[in-house]
Structure formats: C-alpha cells, structure tokens
Amino acid sequence: MTDGLSECGSVPIGLCTWGIYMQGFVTFSRNVFIPLTRVCRNSCAYCGFKCEVHEEGALLDEQSVVRLLERGAVSSCTEALFTFGEQPWKVEGFEDKLEEIGFDSFIDYLMHSSRKAIEIGLLPHTNAGVLSFSDLQRLKSVSASMGLMLETTANLNSHSDSPGKDPVERLRFIEAAGRLKIPFTTGILIGIGESISDRIDSLEAIARIHRRFGHIQEVIIQNFSPKPGTGMSRCQPPSTSTMLDVVSLARRILPADVAVQVAPNLIDPKFLVGHGASDLGGISTVTIDHINPEAPWPKIDELARAIGVPLRERLPIYPKYVMDSWYSDEIKPLIEMLSDREGFRKV
Ligand code: SF4
C-alpha cells in the first residue's frame, strides 16, 4: 500500500483545489451491512461474494435481518446497507428458498426488510443491481439513497458471464434513478481489465448523467482486490499510484458537487484525500465488509488521526439532498430525527 506514496505525501494543504480542502473535513457514514442474498444471476470473474442457492448464507431470513438491524441501531449506525446479488429470482431454486421464508417476491421481501430498518431507526441504502423502473419506483419510498456501481463503460472479459454488467443497461438504470430523484451512489472498479481511456469514458458518462438529473451524490473509486478461488485470483490489484491518478482524474472530470469516495479498508486513504477524495463511504462497527471480507474496517477515531483531517459523519443520503427534501414521506420522520441543520448526522 505504500508504493507511489512518497512523492505524493508532500502535497501541501491548499495546493489541492478540490475535495477535502474545500470543505475542511472528510465525510463517512456508520452502517450495518446486510447481505440479504448472495445469489446472483451474474458471474463476474473477480467475485468472492456470490454463492449457490443451497449454500449457507444464500438468503438471510427475517430473524437474522432484524438481529443485524438491532445490532446496528445499538451501535449508533444510521445506515442499513442492503447489498445482494443481482436479480436472484432468475437463478433456479431461489424462489423455492424465498417461499420457505414466507415471501413470493424478492422485492416484497426487500421492501419488508427496509421497513423493518426504518422501524428500528436505520435508513436503508440499497444496492440492488439493475431493476425494472417500477421496482425502482417502489423502492424509492423506503430508501434514503440507492446505488449501482457502473464499474466501467467497456465490455470486458471479466464480465463475459454477467448479463447485468452490460454498460448500456447500467447507464440506463442510473438515469432512471435520476428521473425518480433518488440520491444515488455509483462508482468505477479499477483493475478489472479496463484501460485508462475506459476510465475516462466511464467518469465522463457519470458526469453527463449527473448534469442532466443532479442525483449523483458520490462516485466510488474502488480498487479491485483479488479473491482466492476466483477467475482473477492471480491478477494484480492496481498500484497506489494508479489509484492516485484515477482519484485525481475523477476529481477533475466529475462536477464539484459530486463527492469522490474511496474505501478505507481497501486502500490507505491518507494520500488519496490529498488528491481529491472527500468521502470514505460506509464504515461498519458491527459487520464485516461482505464483499471484501479479507479487509477489516479501520477504527473510525484512528482514521481521522491517520489522514490528518477531521471526519464528519453524514447519513447515507448526502446533506444537500436532505436539505432539498429528496426523500419520501415514509422516511421523512427518521431523516428529520437523525439529521442536523446542515443535513449531516445530528450529534
Ligand atoms: S454482480 Fe456482484 S454479486 Fe453478482 S457476480 Fe458480479 S460481483 Fe458477484
């Protein structure tokens, strides 16, 4: 994690024209990670998350979901991060599994689980993969924010068995979220076979959509991290200097009101912050990062010391969308209870 850092470590505060030094702090949210199902219609070559229908953890039952939510609430989290495989109902055997826990539609189960989260005091942020417009519309009412990684606009070998990774379909989905005024998180994945110009194309595509709809609150610049037993287990992750370049690129290409996010459990954020990263995403004190289980979360108080910049806690919905009331009536009382006068988390 230290390669390429020495020359960047001397970037003085004030020379960076974007990001943290414009606002004086770095943001994050406190979340509990709920892997509602690991079943997925796709098979990405780098995935260590997906599992088969018969495996343990393939589908969390309601009791397990509630237990996680309650642990999150007592640990002062504000975000219930629902993350799962894409369109699991397209996988044989999944619907029988769903029936065993009393549901005949996965979206109904997700709506039900999101309402449980709200009842317990957590704001749902849902990464649901590509959905129909009507499902997206339904989920808006119970979600503070939603997300879908664009990953890349290129057609890559690592996605050759993943119909849901069609960039056209993903861009269309991100636009649909904009039409519905859903505060939205997207991002690009670095090191999965894309070229530098693919990265530029991807960031420009996100910037264009945001200029039309104004709903992109953050763009994650996520480094690929190889997982044992996957098709890309022997591939090299991107170097820190590559990540520095991409974060700088993102900051230059994206509109100023879109935050650049990096994952502090996957890469040391200290120098990325100096290059324009202004958000560290959801950090959990309760659950592991189920997508990258090998990468533990840093302790929040140690993080602030390590990056040398104050941290400020936000909700899963960014402050400007709180201030502009981009949320449903169903979620409004909880947002009002959890946010301060500037739309950050009330302390
Ligand atoms: S879409 Fe996500 S869960 Fe599904 S195979 Fe790809 S990385 Fe894994």
Q: Supply the pLDDT for residue 205.
A: 98
Q: Supply the pLDDT for residue 15.
A: 36
Q: Supply the pLDDT for residue 22.
A: 59
Residue with CA nearest ligand 1 atom 7 = 47
Contacts of 324 (CB under 8 A, 6+ apart): none
| Alpha helical stretches, state H, the chain | 20-23, 62-74, 94-100, 106-120, 133-140, 167-179, 196-213, 240-253, 270-274, 300-307, 319-323, 332-338
How many Cβ atoms from other residues are within 10 Å of residue 234's Cβ? 8
Residue tagged 């702090």 (tokens): 25
The ligand 1 atom at the shortest distance from the C-alpha of residue 84 is 3
Range of the domain at 242: 20-338
Ligand 1 neighbourhood includes 162 CB (under 6 angstroms): yes
Between β-strands 26-34 and 311-313, what pairing exists: parallel, antiparallel or unpaired? parallel
Q: Supply the pLDDT for residue 9.
A: 30
Residues for the chain: how many in total? Answer: 347
Residue with CA nearest ligand 1 atom 3 = 85
Residue with CA nearest ligand 1 atom 6 = 44
Q: Dihedral of the CA atoms 3, 45, 203, 220 (nearest 10)?
A: -70
Structure tokens at 203: 């960031």
Ligand 1 neighbourhood includes 318 CB (under 6 angstroms): no
Nearest C-alpha neighbor of 189 from the set 140, 154, 137, 141: 154
Residue tagged 């590509």 (tokens): 130
Question: Strand ranges (DSSP E) for the chain?
Answer: 26-34, 79-83, 123-127, 145-147, 184-190, 216-223, 259-261, 279-283, 311-313
Q: Supply the pLDDT for residue 113.
A: 98
Residue 9 in any domain: the answer is no
pLDDT digits (tens, 9 = 90+) for 108-123: 999 999 999 999 999 9
- How close is the Cα of 127 to the center of ligand 1, in Å? 11
Specify the pTM: 0.92
Residue 95 in any domain: the answer is yes
Ligand 1 neighbourhood includes 158 CB (under 6 angstroms): no
Residue tagged 């999101």 (tokens): 114
Residue 323 in any domain: the answer is yes
Q: Give the DSSP letter string of 175-244.
A: HHHHHTT--EEEEEEESSS--HHHHHHHHHHHHHHHHHH--EEEEEEEE----TTSTTTTSPPPPHHHHH
Instruction: Return the DSSP state at 80.
Output: E
Question: What is the CATH number for 88?
Answer: 3.20.20.70
3-state secondary structure of 304: helix
Looking at this protein, which amino acid is placed at residue 11? V
Ligand 1 neighbourhood includes 88 CB (under 6 angstroms): no
Instruction: Report, in angstroms and rounded to the nearest whole number, the Rg of the chain calculated over CA atoms.
Output: 19
- How close is the Cα of 63 to the center of ligand 1, in Å? 25
Low-confidence ranges of the chain (pLDDT < 70): 1-22
Looking at this protein, which amino acid is placed at residue 265? N
Residue 7 in any domain: the answer is no
Residue with CA nearest ligand 1 atom 5 = 43
Measured CA distances, 49 to 40, 160, 285, 290 (Å)? 9, 17, 20, 7
Nearest C-alpha neighbor of 75 from the set 36, 115, 29: 29
Looking at this protein, which amino acid is placed at residue 146? M
Ligand 1 neighbourhood includes 225 CB (under 6 angstroms): no
Whether 250 and 19 have beta carbons less than 8 Å apart is answered as: no
Q: Supply the pLDDT for residue 6.
A: 28
Ligand 1 neighbourhood includes 192 CB (under 6 angstroms): no
Strand partners, 33: 81
Measured CA distances, 140 to 115, 184, 284 (Å)? 12, 11, 23
Give me the sign of the Cα torsion angle 186, 98, 77, 143: positive
Distance of CA 331 to the CA centre of its chain: 20
Task: Provide the mean pLDDT of the chain.
Answer: 92
Spatial separation of the C-alpha atoms in residues 300 and 165, rounded to whole Å: 33
- How close is the Cα of 45 to the center of ligand 1, in Å? 9
- How close is the Cα of 42 to the center of ligand 1, in Å? 6
Total domains in the fold of the chain: 1
Strand partners, 123: 79
Residue 6 in any domain: the answer is no
Looking at this protein, which amino acid is placed at residue 8? C
